[in-house]
Amino acid sequence: MTIIQPNKNNYKSNFIISVLILVLISVALWGMFLYNQLVDLRHEIKKQKISLDEAEVTNAELKNKLYSIIDVENLKSSIDSQSLILDKNPEYVKKKLLTFDH
C-alpha cells in the first residue's frame, strides 16, 4: 500500500537549489561587470592610441621645422643677411696664468 503525503517538502534540496540560483545570479552579474570593464578598457586604449599617433605627427612636424632651421643652407643665408663674416682661423681668448717671481 502506498501512502501519499502531498504537503511534505524536502527543505534540504530547496535550500541547495536556492543557493545554486543565488550563485548563478551572482556569477552572471560579475560577468557583466567584468565585460563592461573590458569594453571600457578597449575604448580607453583606442583613445590613447589616437592621442599617441597625434603626438607622433606633431613631433615629426616639430623635428622637420627644427631641421629646416638648422640646415646649413639656411645658416649661410642668415649669415649673409646679417653681414657677418666667417672667420677661417679664429683666435680664442686665452687665460694667462699669473706667476710671481720672488
The C-alpha cell of 1 is what?
A: 500500500
| Band (22; pLDDT cuts 50, 70, 90) | very high
Tell whether 93 is covered by a domain.
no
Per the structure, the count of domains in the chain is 1
Tell whether 31 is covered by a domain.
yes
User: pLDDT for 82-98, tens place per residue?
Assistant: 777 777 888 887 777 66
pLDDT at 16: 93
Tell whether 73 is covered by a domain.
yes
Tell whether 17 is covered by a domain.
yes
Tell whether 6 is covered by a domain.
no
User: What distance lies between CA 22 and its chain's CA centroid?
Assistant: 40
Residue 26 CA to residue 23 CA, distance in Å, equals 5
Instruction: Look at residue 63 and give its three-state secondary structure.
Output: helix
Tell whether 3 is covered by a domain.
no
**Selected residue with higher pLDDT from 102 and 82:** 82
Asked whether the beta carbons of 98 and 91 are under 8 A apart, the reply is no
Tell whether 102 is covered by a domain.
no
Domain of 40, in residue numbers: 11-79
Tell whether 75 is covered by a domain.
yes
Residue 78 CA to residue 69 CA, distance in Å, equals 10
**Residues contacting 86, CB < 8 A, separation 6+:** 79
